[in-house]
Amino acid sequence: MSTQTMTPVGTANIPVRRMDFEFDDTIPKYWFDNNPMLTMLLTGLSCVFPEGERMFMRAVRHYQDQITDPELQKEVRAFIGQEAHHGKEHQAFNDFMAKKDLPIARIEAFVKKAIAFEEKNLSKERMLAKTCALEHFTAMFAEMILENPQFLDGIDDRLKPLWLWHAIEESEHKAVAFDVYQKTVDNYWIRSSEMAVTTVMFSFFTGLHTVELMRASGEQRNIKAIAQGLNKLLGKKGFFRGMLPHYLAYYRPDFHPNDRDSTQLRNKGLALLKSYLGDKIALAA
Ligand SMILES: [Fe+2]
Ligand SMILES: [Fe+2]
């Protein structure tokens, strides 16, 4: 990793941190708990990130000139800056996983086509509502990681910073797309119905990509890995347990992402990231 600098595009609360991760070929193929299911679940998500985050940027950018609040304008630029860097680093990660004989390029091409189809057929309002829905998902997962940093324990040390850095920044900018939506589209029906549709599609395609990647590795019948993975996520002490109220809160007409103040969680996450990266990262105040 090279030295990090802060770009002026960020705000104090949404700093744009430039990362330059290099993923060493000696990192094992199953870098999460030596478990194909958990590894491919996160890899499948990563395949969606670069184009998905570009879609978020386009959805928000469409409304950028309707924003009159100078603070929100700055936050929009910071949001775009952070998402652009996530895309860049996840692309590097995806390229690294592609060398492990996985159909990464095929999934990325599919995601690109699917998003282009949606952008062609859905209204700008819906695309922004979809962005808000997916930002709620990323914020939920991000804050689960920040709340339970032991989630990262099973991940290869060289990959922990990527996931933790992304989690911190998703939490930092979780309200930006939502605030743009409320200031422009501000339609509860579109927001809530789009969340329902997005939940089904996101779950289906996340599952599909996980299965596709496992199949390519000949691991689709590895019941032990699947059972262990599901138990880690959904079992009695599963990391995804307890997320339902957080998810359902989105359907409240008066919901706002900052109803849940996560400043302390992020500070803890930033301290952990610093312990991983040392002086290689300039952390924002
Ligand atoms: Fe992101
Ligand atoms: Fe995001």
Rounded to whole angstroms, the Cα distance separating 233 from 210 reads 14
Cα 275 to ligand 2 centroid, rounded to whole Å: 24
Nearest CA to 5 out of 16, 278, 160 is that of: 16
The residues spanned by each domain of the chain are 36-278
State residue 6's pLDDT score. 47
- Orientation angle between helical segments 70-98 and 36-61, nearest 10 degrees: 140
6 three-class SS: strand
pLDDT at residue number 269: 97
Distance 47 CA to ligand 1 centre (A): 12
Instruction: Profile the chain (285 residues) by mean pLDDT over runs of 10 residues.
Output: 55 92 95 97 98 98 97 97 97 97 97 98 98 98 96 96 97 98 98 98 97 96 95 92 94 97 96 88 47
Q: Which residues surround ligand 2, an ion (CB under 5 A)?
A: 170
pLDDT at 278: 84
Neighbour count for residue 191 (Cβ, 10 Å):
24
DSSP class of residue 3 equals P
Instruction: Among the bound ligands, name the one nearest to the CA of residue 89.
Output: 1
Whole-angstrom distance, CA of residue 241 vs CA of residue 118: 31
| Terminal-residue alpha carbon distance, the chain | 22
**CA 241 to CA 237: how far, in whole Å?**
7
